[in-house]
Structure formats: C-alpha cells, structure tokens
Chains A and B, each alone.
Chain A
Amino acid sequence: MLIISQYWMRVALTLIGALFSANRLCADNGTTLYAVAGTPVDESGRKFPAALYVVNDHDLNLNKVREIVSREQGVGFVLANQELRTIVVGSPPMLSTHYEILHMDSPHDSQSFDLAKKGLVSIARYLLALPSGSTVLGIEFGNYGKKPYQLDLVGVNLSTLEQSTLPWEDYVYASLVGMGGWSPPNSDFLWVFPFEDGRLTFRYGMKVTKTPWVLPKQVQFPPDYNLGAVVNNLELLIVGGGKQQEFYKTTDLRILDKAGNKWHAESFPGSSTELRGFGHWVAFVVRK
C-alpha cells in the first residue's frame, strides 16, 4: 500500500513539475515579446516608475511581470542593449545611485546594486563590451563644478557585480545604442574629436581614448562642428555633427559599415530627429 502511494505521489509530482515547466519556460529561443515601460527624466521634480511586461499572445494585452523602479524612486535612465542582451535601469533621476539589471535571456530574475562615491556624483553611464567577454557598466563620477576637476570611471561587471577602476582607454569598447524613450541628453553618447589624419578619439574632459576608426577626408565634417558618437555596435559606428549650439538639431551623420570598412555620409529629415541602432539597422523618429 505504502509502495503504491509513493508511486502515485511520484507520478503526481512529475506531472506537476512537467506542467509547471511547460507553463513557465518552453525553451524555443525567444519568441515571447517583453516590454519595458518607463520614462526617464533629467530633473528631480517629476518621477515616473518602470515596469517589465510580457505580451499576452491570447488577448494582445500586457501582463505585468514585475515593477523595476517604483514611482517614489523614479527612473533616471535606461540603457537597453540588444547586442549585449542587457538592460540597466538607474534611479533616482539626475544623480542615479541605484542600478537594476535585467538580462534579456532570463528576464524573470532580478539583480541590483547601489553605488555612490563620497564627494562625487554619477554623471554618465555606458555599457562596455570588454574583449574578455564581460559586459561592464561604466559609471563616470565627477566632482561637478569644483576644482581641481576630478573624474573617475568605475566599472561594474554585470555578471559578478565586482567593481574596479577602469582605464579611460576602455571607452573604445562602449556599446552605444542611441536615443530611446525620451533619453536625457548625454545618455549613451560620447564626444568625438578627430585628429588631423581623421583618426577618431572619444573624449571626456581632458581624457582621450584613441579609436581604431579613421574618418576619410571625403566625409569629414567642417572643422567648426561638434561631433558625437551616437551608435557603436558590432556592425556600425555612427557619428553625428553640428555647429556649436546647433549640435542637437542636426541629422547629418557619418555611418561606418565596420565589416566592409565603408563610410557613408547621410542626412535625414527633421531638425532634431532621434535615432537608435539595431545591428546594421538604424531606426529614426522624425522630429522637428
């Protein structure tokens, strides 16, 4: 009798386990669409929450998976990188100190950390794809408005959460996806200065990082233009340019097809058009 009961219990447990697995995760390499809602702002007066949803195929509604950032905390920035399969959501707005990490291949798991440096504030953040294969969140800390000006680049490994001081040369590994979802200015953007021979450098303050990319003479911008890298992924590098204050009002771009090592000069409609990179595709929202 006892043997029979144990047998049926095992069968029942197996069935429950199988049903649970089938319901939760049928590994067929990602055909479920997940959505992240939230609006980052670069002011402290208003705060908006962020949440992860999954699209319900049956009624076309969104089902909430979980809250990522509460309304009280407020979203400061979102870095969503398809190539690195990683999303980082920072809070609160302006001077974020709390970081939520979402891995696109295991979105139901959550990971987070807090990071602040005494006397310094976090100014900007970048996702770096290091040659070792690690994905690192680079956080720029500065003593904004004070002298002497101090700038530190701290790296947080997004698998182990180990922190280290990054050399500025690591900026060359910044994986930039462009503007998405009302991104505050300067998010996911690096200033670019070309040397006389057209070699591009990423710069912040007095820090210079030489890149392997050279802008040929025929597609160089006029010398009085400010330049910025807005997309840098495995397939494309996109540099935008404009005159001084007009910088954010231009859609004149230089686009490098990395595999073919070919540059294209392109203009797009709109005086302040937003763009995002997805592999070799660039998506624009025309804005005037």
Chain B
Amino acid sequence: MNSPKVSPGKKDRPQVNPKTDFNFDTYMDAYEYYRPGTLILYNGVTTKRFTIETHQGDSEILLVDQETVYYRVNRAIWKAHIGASAIESASLVAADPAIRDVHWVFLGPTISTKKP
C-alpha cells in the first residue's frame, strides 16, 4: 500500500496523542485521505463559486452569516467578506490552541469578554 499524501501544513499542526486527543494526521492516514487546504463557497441561487486557499489541510468553513464567511485554519478562526467576485478583507478573529477542535460557531447574545 502506498503511503498517503500528507496534507499541507503538518509542521504547524500539534501532533497530539491520538488515543486521548483527535489527531488530524492520524485520521487522514488511517482513511488515506488528503486535504489540499482548498475551501469552496458556492451560492446555490446564483451558482457563483469562490475559493479560499488556506495551504493548511486542517481547514474548514464554520459559518456563513449574510455576506461574511468564518473559517478555521488549524488553530485560528478568520472571517472575510464575500465580495462580488472574490473573498476579500480577511481578518483574524481568534487564535487559541483549543480552536483545533472547534467545528461549529454561531453568533449569539453579546457579552463582555473583558477580563477583570
């Protein structure tokens, strides 16, 4: 059996113990999957497509809220504006080791998160 192709960005991914934590690379190897770090956003009404190249295999789109897309790249969450012809004005929303296990986000009631 050929060794599976390694998804980009492995050096930036924490190589945690797969018995106690979810390990992206162990999972991808076990199923012989490969993720190139390509995210696609498709408008089901206009059929327009947009592509986000993250160069990180462990990436996913977490939420689309009106014209804003939120996506995870390894241990960071980004947001960007869905423009007329491209995804634009990407900005960092959060960066935290716990984000590698985040697969769902939502906008909820505003609370102050300022530390005392």
Contact = CB atoms under 8 A, between A and B. Distances in A.
Contacts of A27: 109-110
Given A30-B110, A285-B59, A35 B22 contact: no
A276 to B, nearest CB: 7
Given A30-B110, A33-B93, A255-B44, A48 B98 contact: no
A269 B60 CA distance: 15
Interface string A199-225: 000000000000000000000000000
Given A62-B94, A272-B33, A288-B33, A35 B99 contact: yes
B22 A39 contact: yes
B90 interface: no
A6 interface: no
Contacts of A34: 105-108
Contacts of B9: none
Interface size of B as a range: 35 or more
Given A36-B103, A39-B22, A55-B113, A285 B96 contact: no
A276 B61 contact: yes
B86 interface: no
A37 B41 contact: no
Contacts of B69: 281, 283
Contact of A286 (B36, B77, B110): B36
Contacts of A56: 94, 113, 115
Contact of B22 (A78, A180, A182): A182
Given A266-B47, A269-B38, A281-B41, A30 B109 contact: yes
Contacts of B6: none
B107 A286 contact: no
A199 B39 CA distance: 32
A23 B110 CA distance: 9
A282 B44 contact: yes
B1 interface: no
A280 interface: yes
Contact of B43 (A104, A281, A285, A287): A281
A168 interface: no
Contacts of A64: 98
28 contacts: A26-B110, A28-B110, A30-B109, A31-B107, A32-B110, A34-B105, A35-B77, A35-B94, A35-B105, A37-B101, A55-B77, A58-B114, A59-B115, A60-B95, A61-B96, A85-B106, A104-B107, A180-B103, A182-B22, A235-B45, A238-B44, A264-B47, A278-B63, A281-B41, A281-B69, A283-B41, A283-B61, A287-B33
Given A25-B109, A34-B105, A58-B114, 14 more contacts: A23-B111, A24-B111, A30-B110, A35-B99, A37-B103, A48-B22, A60-B94, A62-B102, A80-B106, A107-B108, A260-B45, A269-B40, A280-B43, A287-B33
7 nearest CB pairs, A to B = A181-B103, A283-B61, A278-B64, A37-B101, A284-B40, A39-B22, A286-B38
